[in-house]
């Protein structure tokens, strides 16, 4: 019987029959980089030094990847960080500092929110409002990334996608309850793009169920929306809007020009 160390060292390959077309020969013929995802530990997850085992650095990478999958945050948003937030996107004329002032307040609020979540799992959430391309999603994703780096559980849901999933589970009560329960009970929930969608009474009730539960349990929620508060109740209803206001600090972001368009101009050398 092989020892654990022999197994970890890959010596079981010696038991593969040595034939002209054997799997072992094919493996031996491949470069190490094509056989193992991690050439340091050869995908074992540990590094052996004598009789002592150390976790390989690739395990931290896998842990982060699993966190992102659990959080449902997109690959595009994984690199959003507070220290990369660019105030030059909010600069206009020297006489109009309202864009920059709003961005400073929103960024400071996002940083404070993270500190509060690290101190206590209960508290107020944040509502970022503003036009399309004003940096709301960037701040929400930065919050998610900072909290995940501190091993906090986060769920990042894009509201239109959430509504589509809920509609898809309409005939499967168990799946619907699983999805709603995750959104209700996750320590930090982020609802991105709560906008002017085609809300039915059924989807309004599901959103209310999530927001109301989290309000009652004092679980913080981060919400981004391009809807002004006075229009929000027309789409999601008065009772849901009221509970969002009750459970959130509200900050508005504005820009002289859509940030995505500014990025496009930079990329094309038009600035």
Q: Give CA 5 to chain center in angstroms.
A: 39
What would the two tokens of residue 158 be?
């894009």
Answer with the one of 55, 74, 89 that is the final residue of a domain. 55
- Which band of pLDDT confidence, cut at 50, 70 and 90, is reported for residue 16? very low
For helices 98-119 and 136-149, angle between their N-to-C axes, nearest 10 degrees:
20
Q: Is residue 179 part of a domain?
A: yes
Residues 37 and 98 in one domain: no
What would the two tokens of residue 50 be?
């004598």
Cα torsion 265, 269, 270, 271 to 10°: value is: 80
Q: Is residue 269 part of a domain?
A: no
Residues 228 and 101 in one domain: yes
Q: In the chain, how many domains are there?
A: 2
Per-residue three-class SS string for the chain:
CCCHHHHHCCHHHHHCCCCCCCHHHHHHHCCHHHHCCCCCCCCCCEEEECCEEEECHHHHHHHHHHHHHHHCCCHHHCCCCHHHCCHHHHCCCCCCCHHHHHHHHHHHHHHHHHHHHHHCCCCCEEEEECCCCCCHHHHHHHHHHHHHHCCCCEEEEEHHHHHHHHHHCCCCHHHHHHHHHHHHHCCEEEEECCCCCCCCHHHHHHHHHHHHHHHHCCCCEEEEECCCHHHHHHHHCHHHHHHHHHCEEEEECCCCCCHHHHHHHHHCCCC
Q: Is residue 49 part of a domain?
A: yes
Residues 117 and 46 in one domain: no
Q: Which residues pair with 125 in a beta bridge?
A: 248
Say which CATH number the domain at 99 has: 3.40.50.300
Above 80 in pLDDT, residue 68? no
Q: Is residue 271 part of a domain?
A: no
From 107, 109, 87, 84, select the one nearest 97 (Cα to Cα): 87
Q: Average per-residue pLDDT in the chain?
A: 81
Residues 36 and 119 in one domain: no
Residues 78 and 151 in one domain: yes
pLDDT at 155 (0 to 100): 92
- Which band of pLDDT confidence, cut at 50, 70 and 90, is reported for residue 241? very high
Residues 100 and 21 in one domain: no
Q: What percent of the chain has pLDDT over 90?
A: 54
Residues 234 and 177 in one domain: yes
Average pLDDT of the residues in 204-224: 96
pLDDT at 23 (0 to 100): 36
Nearest-angstrom CA–CA distance, 194 and 231:
12
Answer with the one of 55, 72, 98 that is the final residue of a domain. 55
Q: Is residue 42 part of a domain?
A: yes
Residues 25 and 106 in one domain: no
Above 60 in pLDDT, residue 8? no
Residues 24 and 67 in one domain: no
Alpha-carbon Rg for the chain in angstroms: 24
- Which band of pLDDT confidence, cut at 50, 70 and 90, is reported for residue 175? low
Residues 254 and 175 in one domain: yes
Q: Is residue 266 part of a domain?
A: no
Residues 36 and 96 in one domain: no
Above 90 in pLDDT, residue 56? no
Average pLDDT of the residues in 150-160: 92
Which of the two residues, 243 and 20, has the higher pLDDT score? 243
Residues 23 and 81 in one domain: no
The predicted-structure confidence for 109-128, as pLDDT tens digits, reads as follows 999 999 999 999 999 999 99
Calculate the alpha carbon distances from 226 to 92, 152, 165, 257 in Å. Answer: 21, 27, 22, 15
Domain that holds residue 189: 63-261
Q: Is residue 95 part of a domain?
A: yes
- Which band of pLDDT confidence, cut at 50, 70 and 90, is reported for residue 39? confident
Q: Is residue 268 part of a domain?
A: no
């Amino acid at each position: 019987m092989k020892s654990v160390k022999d197994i970890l060292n890959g010596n079981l390959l010696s038991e593969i029959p040595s034939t002209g077309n054997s799997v072992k020969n094919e493996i031996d013929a491949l470069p190490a980089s094509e056989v193992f995802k991690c050439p340091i530990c050869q995908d074992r997850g540990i590094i052996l030094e004598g009789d002592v085992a150390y976790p390989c650095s690739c395990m931290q990478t896998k842990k982060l990847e699993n966190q992102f999958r659990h959080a449902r945050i997109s690959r595009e948003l994984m690199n959003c960080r507070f220290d990369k937030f660019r105030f030059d996107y909010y600069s206009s004329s020297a006489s109009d500092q309202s864009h920059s002032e709003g961005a400073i307040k929103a960024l400071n609020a996002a940083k404070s929110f993270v500190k509060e979540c690290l101190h206590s799992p209960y508290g107020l959430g944040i509502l970022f409002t503003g036009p399309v391309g004003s940096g709301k999603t960037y701040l929400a994703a930065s919050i998610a990334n900072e909290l995940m780096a501190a091993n906090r559980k986060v769920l990042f849901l894009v509201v239109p996608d959430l509504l589509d999933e809920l509609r898809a589970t309409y005939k499967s009560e168990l799946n619907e309850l699983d999805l709603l329960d995750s959104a209700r009970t996750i320590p930090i929930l982020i609802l991105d793009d709560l906008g002017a969608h085609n809300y039915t009474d059924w989807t309004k009730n599901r959103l209310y169920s999530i927001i109301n539960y989290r309000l009652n349990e004092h679980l913080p929620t981060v919400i981004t929306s391009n809807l002004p508060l006075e229009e929000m109740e027309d789409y999601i209803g008065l009772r849901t809007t009221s509970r969002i206001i009750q459970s959130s600090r509200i900050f508005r972001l504005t820009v002289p020009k859509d940030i995505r368009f500014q990025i496009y101009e930079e990329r094309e050398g038009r600035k």
